[in-house]
Each structure stands twice: as structure tokens, then as C-alpha cells.
Amino acid sequence: MKATAADLALLGGAPAFAEPLHVGRPNVGDREAILREIGEALDDRWLSNNGEKLLAFEARLSERLGGLHCVATCNATLGLQIAMRALEVEGEVVLPSLTFVATAHAVGWERLTPVFADVEPASLCMGPAEAEAVIGADTGALLGVHLWGRSADLPGLERLARERELPLVFDAAHALGCSRDGRPLAGFGDAAVISFHATKVANSFEGGVVVTADADLAERVATMRNFGFVDEDEVVGLGTNAKLSEAGAAMGLASLDALDGFIAANRRNYAAYAEALAGIPGVSLLPFDDPGAVNCHHISIEVDAEAAGIDRDQLRAVLVAENVLARRYFHPGCHRTAPYEDRRPRPTLPVTERALARTLSLPTGTAVTPADAGAVGTVVRVGVAEAAAVRRRLEG
């Protein structure tokens, strides 16, 4: 018998944390460097339209990614839309439901049809078997997601895309600073889009970057983000306004300068969580195959209600009561979100459903210390122990 939410109002007293610990609190870095970069843009009186800060930001990121072409946009959602339009995608797009709804919305906004695939049990990302299971006659592209900086069978996905002659795009929103076999995750597929939203490991206040090895594709993306202009007064095709401002690019430059420190802080927190959560019945930290190859910016646990005596949502309530604002990323799943939930037939996504019911993301980033992570682990340990005690009382 599981304890009820009322039974689990259990820790009592003042919250464990005087100030809330948030998931996704922005990494800020060197404030003076940020203000200096923005100040230089103000001094130049060039605040948008491919200024020096934007060009420097794209070049700096390209250098970090081994020379891949980088085209910055005002946000990653528009980056995904433009990438698919530049690849001339039509019809249906196969993607996982276990992602932020913007991934599906980017498809729908382009008048394409999202088709939801399940995910691999280990990576929680769409792999080639899951994608192939829902490819149909109208499939126009595959859209993978590097969820929480993790990766599926990427060579297998690339092979499937080649065999089916389909473009392969990745939502790499979480993947800056992540690699596989020495290759940046953003380097897989025909194109990938990294997010520089405020909640990501590095940010440009709000922004995104389309990454590709294809110079022609990068040029088309750059043209489309600026109304279709190729010079001062020549428009060569349909475009939109997806430019990143100079202030955003300045913040992006400062964030890239501080990125290694941000990642190091995340890895320390991941190690602290691993130690603090070890041995708690029914609670497991989602592992990375190689924590040294990922940014560890999303730290998540899985809660087995039968073993823990407390389900994921009950544990979240305990954490929130202690000022630990854990998040259910990405509950309830795109396939259960308007405007997709009424589609028939409903997709069968057992691994996705399991993850949506059991996973919980914990605070990390530079606003969280290893000591904080240890204290969060203590809250989880006490919550599970008290749930077990409540269960014994109820059963006894």
C-alpha cells in the first residue's frame, strides 16, 4: 500500500532550503565580461543585422565544434523551422514524443505532420528501430532529440536516413558540450539546432544556432533568417525575421568563454547527487555512459513507486515543500498535448509513457553547489524512508 499525499506531509518545520532551488536557473558567468561585450555593441551603434558580435559568436562556436558551420537565430524553435524549410521537408516528420513541445510545434508550424515514435529504454532518445517502426509512405524527414544531452544509436539513425533517403535533423537543444566518440552531438545528421535559451548550459539570453557540415545548407539558413535577403536590397526567396541581436550574441560570447566552468560545476553536482542518492530504494540517478563527454546540465532521477513506496509526483511534492523545485520534464508528453492528443490512432509509446510517469529533473547549474546536491539527496532519502514508515503503519 502506497502512502497518500497527505501522509507524506512528513518533514515538518522550516524548509530544508531557505531560498528555492530551481531547475534551469541561468548560468551567468563573468558579469563584467558580459557588460563589456554589450557595451562594445552599444559603442558601435550596431544592435542587429549581422554585426560584429554575431559574427564573432558564430565563429567562436564553430571553432569549438570543430569547424562546423553555425548560423545563429533568435531562438532554437525558429532554428528548427528554418532548418526543415531549408531542407525542403514535406509531409510527415518522425520524432519522439519525449521532448519539449517546441520540437513538435516547429514541425506543425511548418504545416508538416508530426508522427511520434517511442524511445530507447537506455538513452530515452529515439533510435533507428523506433524511428523505422513509424516511417510511412509520407515520411519526409527524421527529427531526433538529444534529450538531456544524451544520445541514441546515432550511426544507426544516420544509416537509416541514408537508406530511406530522408533528411536527418536533430533537436540538440541540450547538447552543447556533449560528444559521442569524440564527435560533437551537434555534428550528427544533416543539421542540428542548439538552444541558447536562458535555461541552457550556456545562453544568449534567448537564442539558437543551426549547425551543419553543409556550407550550402548553412547559406540557405542564413538567408532565410534575414527575410530572404542576400545583399542590401535583393531578396531571393521566402524568409522570416529570426536574427539574433547583438546583445544576445554578446551574452553568447561571454557564455562560451565561461562554458568550461559551467560544465565543470554541473559535473561536480552530478557526482554529488550520485553519492547522495546511492542506495535509496526505488530511486535511481539516470546515468550517463561517460559523464566526461556530456555537460551534465540535466540531472534526472527515476522513481519506482513499488520499490520506493512513493511515486514520482509524491516525491516531487516532498521536494517542493522543502523548496527544491524539481520538474517533470517533459510531462505529459507531446502526444498528450494539444493540438496532438486527439489524433487517431493514438501512438503506442510504452517506454515514453514509463519515463513520463517516473522521471524527475533536479536542480543543478552554477546556482547549485555540491553541498546543495547532497542536501537534496538527503531530502529524497528521508522522504523515501518516511514513506516506508507510513506504509508499515498503514499495513500494520
Tens-place pLDDT, residues 198-219 = 999 999 999 999 999 999 999 9
Domain shared by 240 and 277, yes or no: no
180 phi, psi to nearest 5 deg: -140, 125
Question: With left for phi above 0 and alpha for psi between -120 and 50, is residue 188 left, alpha or beta?
Answer: beta
Residue 2: is its pLDDT beyond 90? no
Residue 368: inside a domain: yes
Domain shared by 310 and 329, yes or no: yes
User: What's the CATH code of the domain at 280?
Assistant: 3.90.1150.10
Domain shared by 333 and 375, yes or no: yes
Residue 10: is its pLDDT beyond 70? no
| Domain end point (choices 255, 274, 291) | 255
Span of 174-188, 290-304, 339-353, 381-395 with lowest mean pLDDT: 381-395
Domain shared by 80 and 139, yes or no: yes
Domain shared by 216 and 233, yes or no: yes
Q: Which residue has the higher pLDDT, 10 or 157?
A: 157
Residue 205: inside a domain: yes
Q: What is the pLDDT of residue 12?
A: 59
Residue 9: is its pLDDT beyond 80? no
Type of residue at 119: V
Domain shared by 112 and 186, yes or no: yes
| Domain end point (choices 198, 227, 255) | 255
Q: What is the pLDDT of residue 5?
A: 42
Answer whether 149's CB lies under 8 Å from 175's CB. yes
CB-side exposure of 335: number of CA atoms within 13 Å? Answer: 20
Interatomic CA distance for residues 305 and 307, integer angstroms: 6
Domain shared by 239 and 269, yes or no: no
Tens-place pLDDT, residues 126-137 = 999 999 999 999
- Cell for 205? 539570453
Tens-place pLDDT, residues 285-328 = 999 989 899 999 999 999 999 999 999 999 999 999 999 999 99
Share of the chain above pLDDT 90, in %: 92
Burial of 77 (0-12, 13-18, 19+ CB in 10 A): buried
Among the listed residues 176, 349, 183, the one whose alpha carbon sits nearest the alpha carbon of residue 263: 176
Q: What is the pLDDT of residue 6?
A: 41
Residue 3: is its pLDDT beyond 60? no
| Domain limits for position 236 | 31-255
Which residues lie across from 209 on neighbouring strands?
Answer: 72, 194
Residue 2: inside a domain: no
Q: What is the pLDDT of residue 263?
A: 98
| Domain end point (choices 200, 224, 255) | 255
Answer whether 93's CB lies under 8 Å from 113's CB. yes
Interatomic CA distance for residues 197 and 252, integer angstroms: 10
Domain shared by 248 and 272, yes or no: no
Domain shared by 250 and 324, yes or no: no
Domain shared by 251 and 342, yes or no: no
Q: If you average pLDDT over residues 97-106, what whole number do you get?
A: 98
Residue 86: is its pLDDT beyond 60? yes
Tens-place pLDDT, residues 33-83 = 999 999 999 999 999 999 999 999 999 999 999 999 999 999 999 999 999
Interatomic CA distance for residues 145 and 119, integer angstroms: 10
pLDDT tier for residue 396 given thresholds of 50, 70 and 90: low
Residue 305: inside a domain: yes
Domain shared by 323 and 345, yes or no: yes
Among the listed residues 66, 88, 57, the one whose alpha carbon sits nearest the alpha carbon of residue 216: 88
Q: If you average pLDDT over residues 229-243, what whole number do you get?
A: 95
Average pLDDT, the chain: 95
| 3-state secondary structure at position 70 | strand
Structural domain count of the chain = 2
Interatomic CA distance for residues 242 and 222, integer angstroms: 9
Distance of CA 85 to the CA centre of its chain: 22
Residue 282: is its pLDDT beyond 90? yes
Tens-place pLDDT, residues 150-196 = 999 999 999 999 999 999 999 999 999 999 999 999 999 999 999 99
Q: DSSP letter at 166?
A: -
Q: Which residue has the higher pLDDT, 28 or 12?
A: 28
Write the DSSP string, 49-69: SS-HHHHHHHHHHHHHTTT-E
Q: What is the pLDDT of residue 14?
A: 87
The enclosing H or E element of 191 equals: strand 191-195
Domain shared by 285 and 303, yes or no: yes
- Find all residues with CB under 8 Å of 40, minimum gap 6, and list them: 52, 53, 250
Q: pTM for this structure?
A: 0.95
Residue 12: inside a domain: no
- Nearest 5 degrees, angle CA 395-CA 322-CA 316? 60
User: What's the CATH code of the domain at 150?
Assistant: 3.40.640.10
